């Protein structure tokens, strides 16, 4: 097996060297979904055409998401013997200008550069690799994303790809599982169950057929990190699934991918075909007696299909619904009644490195009970949004203040919500908490699917809890009463509170309902759906009380509890607000103070936004007294 693998590795190295060449500069265009959404394919085409037209000897290739989503579109240039320089907010015209300046005239264009990777770089360009964004990260799962061509198996193999599989095939099943267990790897899908223990329980079941399923159907719209890994490094996930298949005795695996991820599906199909061509997938892998095949099943993006039995039902052709309790574990009775191992994209993505680099290496990262790294989609009211990977145990505050760059527009931090729609919201006093499975759970939040939404002082915590609960209510399969009716009733109460109909006792009723839903729902969706409400009541109860008792929204968000008024002493009568009002609620003569008719005003806020800063004549008011004091 080793001899055959080394022959494959040598062929890949030769193919890679033939294409790249040691003396050719490389132009990397970030072309994952985030890059494509901002025009990267136009830039890629323009760069290819420009290089060809000018007869510039250079390699132009698409790469995945390096994580700097706030700066898209990204183009990186690597000249032989020079550091890699990252250029942000590219356009086709700017890219052509950059190539002309740097590759033809040796001007690295500091005015366009975001930063360089390495020890030393051109004058005037900051060192991004040691800057606040990357120095606090530990790139393990995302090591290849943004660095290699995801459509090239040769480039993956050159970067130590499939060496974890080789070590796996040279070991016994028990040895592979022991290595994964020793690493301390816990499932990255949200629950954090020990991966080695799950695989061992499947191995112990005697069956004529077993399966491996990769959950790549993140129903959480904000959790795009799994999609990014499939788009940027598909072979890593494929290799991890093959290793899992060998460890538990499975001969077939399924990628359960949401159909709304077309690029991920295309790259997976390509990677599967490439792996089969090199005998790294399929019959008698590397000449061994182990055979394993993979299929892609396209899901509908249902959040509830994050639950293992719901995925099984969906692949079998049924509606994706969790099975009622009591039920056997999927490792005992899963797909078509056979033992099945199910893990998340990020879990499978890191397994090859554990096999290749050793369990002790992985266990040395993070904390004792939460080893390795955590991948988050950092978004919300933050300066630098993007995809990040940090060692377990890092403080929440360090992620937000240093990696994310803090809150924009000189506003104050208010809360951070972790774990996707079912995660809890944590206040500023919790920013010194270490990020790990158990600590976040104890604080009322969770690791979850890896979402991290930052909220500033302009956010209403009652409204935000309503937003997240509305999502989980809509995503409920409706099978069990606590989730189907309980979340609906909680949503009705939250709507009443936000619309000025809140009553004494509503907070207590929300707590009672939430506790019941958590304890009695049959799957993880219902068990965690109340988290945003319960956590915001725990840490921001005063906002609920203000809505109910004072009919006031402290953040000036809930439309039913705010009014707009023009201060006659500040209004210059410029008429900008009047011309912008979509319902003609503002009246007044030119150069005379204007007024707003509260009976017509829809509270869209356009007038507030367009009023010149030098006047600041339009006010937002809330509370019982202010609601009656309007123009």
* DSSP of 439-468: HHHHTT---TTSEEEEEETT--HHHHHHHH
State the pLDDT at residue 302. 80
Q: Give this prediction's pTM.
A: 0.93
313-334 burial, b at 16+ Cβ within 10 Å, e below that, comes to bbbeeeebbbbeeeeeebbbbb
For residue 629, what pLDDT is reported? 42
pLDDT of residue 448: 79
pLDDT tens profile 391-403: 999 999 999 999 9
Distance CA 12, CA 5 (A): 10
- Whether 218 shows a pLDDT value over 60: the answer reads no
Is the confidence at residue 23, as pLDDT, over 90?
Answer: no
Report helix, strand and coil shares of the chain as percent, to nearest 5.
45, 15, 40
Sheet containing strand 340-344, edge to edge, reads 293-299, 252-258, 211-216, 340-344
pLDDT tens-digit series, residues 278-300: 999 999 999 999 999 999 999 88
pLDDT beyond 80 at 612: yes
Mean pLDDT score across all residues of the chain: 93
Tens of pLDDT along 475-511? 888 889 999 999 999 999 999 999 999 999 999 999 9
pLDDT single digits (tens) 48-83 = 999 999 999 999 999 999 999 999 999 999 999 899
Residue 139: the pLDDT is 95
Mean pLDDT on 298-311: 85
Query: Any residues with CB less than 8 A from the CB of 66 and at least 6 apart, and which?
Result: 30, 74, 76, 86, 145, 146, 147
Residue by residue, what is the 3-state secondary structure of 72-92? CCCEEEECCCCCEEEECCCCH
Domains of the chain: 18-129 (3.40.30.10), 161-359 (3.40.50.11540), 373-456 (3.10.20.600), 461-549 (1.20.1440.230), 559-627 (3.30.70.20)
Percent residues over pLDDT 90 in the chain: 84
Find where tokens 């009970």 sit. Answer: 369
């Amino acid at each position: 097996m080793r001899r055959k693998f080394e022959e494959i590795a040598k062929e890949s190295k030769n193919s890679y060297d033939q294409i790249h060449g040691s003396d050719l500069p490389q132009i990397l265009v970030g072309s994952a979904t985030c890059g494509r959404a901002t025009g990267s394919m136009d830039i890629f085409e323009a760069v290819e055409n420009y290089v060809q037209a000018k007869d510039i000897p250079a390699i132009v290739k698409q790469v995945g998401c390096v994580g700097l989503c706030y700066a898209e579109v990204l183009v990186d240039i690597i000249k032989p013997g020079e550091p890699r320089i990252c250029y942000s907010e590219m356009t086709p015209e700017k890219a052509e200008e950059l190539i002309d300046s740097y590759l033809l005239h040796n001007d690295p264009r500091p005015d366009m550069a975001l930063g360089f990777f390495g020890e030393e770089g051109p004058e005037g360009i900051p060192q991004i690799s040691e800057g606040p964004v990357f120095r606090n990260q530990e790139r393990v799962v995302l090591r290849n994303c943004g660095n290699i061509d995801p459509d090239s198996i040769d480039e993956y193999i050159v970067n130590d790809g499939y060496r974890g599989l080789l070590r796996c095939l040279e070991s016994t099943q028990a040895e592979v599982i022991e290595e994964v267990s020793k690493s301390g790897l816990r499932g990255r899908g949200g629950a954090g169950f020990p991966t080695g223990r799950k695989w061992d329980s499947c191995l112990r079941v005697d069956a004529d057929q077993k399966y491996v399923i990769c959950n790549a159907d993140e129903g959480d719209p904000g959790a795009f990190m799994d999609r990014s890994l499939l788009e940027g490094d598909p072979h890593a996930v494929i290799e991890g699934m093959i290793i899992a298949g060998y460890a538990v005795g499975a001969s077939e695996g399924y990628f359960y991918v949401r159909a709304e991820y077309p690029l991920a599906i295309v790259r997976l199909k390509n990677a599967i075909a490439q792996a089969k061509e090199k005998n790294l997938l399929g019959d008698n892998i590397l000449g061994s007696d182990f055979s394993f095949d993979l299929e892609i099943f396209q899901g509908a993006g249902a959040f509830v299909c994050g639950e293992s039995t719901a995925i099984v039902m969906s692949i079998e052709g049924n509606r994706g619904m969790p099975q009622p309790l009591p039920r056997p574990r999927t490792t005992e009775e899963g797909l078509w009644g056979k033992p099945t191992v199910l893990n998340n994209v990020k879990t499978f993505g890191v397994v090859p490195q554990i096999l290749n680099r050793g369990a002790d290496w992985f266990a040395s990262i993070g904390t004792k009970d939460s080893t390795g790294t955590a991948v988050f989609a950092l978004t919300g009211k933050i300066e630098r949004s993007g995809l990040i990977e940090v060692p377990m145990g890092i403080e929440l505050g360090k992620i937000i203040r240093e990696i994310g760059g803090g809150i924009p527009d000189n506003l104050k931090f208010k809360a951070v919500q972790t774990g996707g729609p079912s995660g809890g919201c944590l206040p500023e006093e919790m920013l010194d908490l270490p990020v790990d499975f158990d600590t976040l759970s104890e604080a009322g939040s969770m690791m979850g699917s890896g979402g991290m939404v930052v909220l500033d002082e302009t956010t209403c915590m009652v409204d935000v809890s309503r937003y997240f609960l509305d999502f989980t209510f809509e995503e409920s399969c409706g099978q069990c009463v606590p989730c189907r009716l309980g979340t609906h009733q909680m949503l009705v109460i939250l709507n009443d509170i936000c619309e000025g109909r809140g009553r004494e006792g509503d907070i207590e009723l929300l707590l009672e309902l939430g506790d019941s839903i958590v304890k009695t729902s049959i799957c993880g969706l219902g068990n965690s759906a109340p988290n945003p409400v319960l956590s915001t009541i725990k840490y921001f109860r005063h906002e609920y009380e203000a809505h109910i008792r004072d009919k006031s929204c402290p953040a000036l968000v809930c439309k039913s509890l705010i009014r707009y008024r023009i201060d006659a002493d500040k209004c210059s009568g410029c008429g900008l607000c009047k011309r912008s009002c979509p319902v003609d609620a503002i009246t007044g003569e030119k150069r005379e103070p204007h007024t707003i008719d509260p009976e017509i005003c829809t509270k869209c806020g356009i007038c507030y936004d367009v009023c010149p800063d030098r006047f600041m004549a339009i006010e937002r008011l809330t509370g019982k007294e202010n609601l009656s004091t309007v123009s």
